[in-house]
Amino acid sequence: MNTKIPTPSLTRLCLIYQACEDLYLKGQATVSSIELARILDSSSANVRKDINYLGEIGNSRAGYEVMKLKNFIAANLNLTQKRKTCIVGLGRLGSAILAYEGRLSAGGYRVVAGFDASINRLETIRATVPLYPDYEMTDVVRQEQIELAIVTVPGEAAQKVTDQLVEGGVKGIINFTPVVVKSQKAGVRVRNIDMVNELRVLTSMMTTEQSDSKMKRATETQRHREEKNR
């Protein structure tokens, strides 16, 4: 089924997955592509295409069954089992994320280790997850079979840390550092998120007055259909 799903679709599918969870908690049993589009701030055609990458599921006239859709996405995107995760760098940001542990866990990610270069810091932080000095990183990752890592070290250390993680067998990394890191080993996925850069992109977009994506829009017929349901 999954002969290459485009990344933007993958991102939206994960968002849809979350939306299903929320809708389910609200007691809603069924949802249309139009409603999902509204939640994701996307288009209904887009939503339908995305879902169809995974195969057929919908029930015409009534839309998608919330629970069925959620499970369907989870099954196809391998979101069913809890994945082991670690946090590297326990400064302000890292600690905050560590404290976030609950939400990560609810989302299907168990934080099983924290790492930092400063032994001192390791001793002062009290956490529910075990903390280790950075030089044990590769070993612990390998031993515990940790699949994901969240990196919040200073920029200078980012690439080194990445290498150690990859060496230990990590398969996905979120890097909050201003340095773009790369994994030698193919197949390891990295997502770089730097706040300053995000702010700059935002700044350039807002000042350079890019034609707003909401301006280029559907034809009359389409627009009416979508608007009506608001």
Query: From CA 98, how far away is CA 107, in angstroms rounded?
Result: 14
Which residues lie below 8 Å from residue 205, measured CB to CB, with a gap of 6+? none
CB of 41 to DNA, least distance (A): 11
- Verify binding: residue 20, its own copies, rule CB under 8 A: no
Residue tagged 């887009």 (tokens): 46
- What is the C-alpha to C-alpha distance for residues 172 and 111, in angstroms, rounded to an integer? 14
Choose, by CB under 7 A, the member of 48, 110, 121, 171 that binds DNA: 48
The DSSP bridge partners found for residue 23 are none
User: At CA 218, angle to CA 214 and CA 223, rounded to 5?
Assistant: 95
Q: Is 225 in the site for its own copies (CB under 8 A)?
A: no
Give the one entry of DNA, its own copies, none that residue 57 binds, where binding means its C-beta sits below a cut-off of 5 to 8 angstroms depending on kind.
Answer: DNA
Site for its own copies in 56-75 (CB under 8 A): none
Asked if 76 is part of the footprint of DNA (rule: CB under 7 A), the reply reads: no
Give the nearer residue to DNA in terms of CB position, either 56 or 156: 56
**Structural Rg of the chain based on CA atoms:** 21
Contact characters 103-132, its own copies, x per CB under 8 A? xx--xxx-----------------------
Q: In the window 155-194, what residues touch its own copies (CB under 8 A)?
A: 171-174, 178, 180, 182, 186-189, 191, 193-194
Token pair of 83 as six digits:
């994945």
Give how far Cα 5 sits from Cα of 10, 77, 186, 212, 226, Å.
Answer: 7, 10, 18, 26, 26
Tell me which residues touch its own copies (CB under 8 A). Answer: 2, 4-5, 7, 10-11, 13-15, 17-18, 39-41, 76-79, 83, 85, 92-93, 95-97, 99-100, 103-104, 107-109, 147-148, 150, 171-174, 178, 180, 182, 186-189, 191, 193-212, 214-215
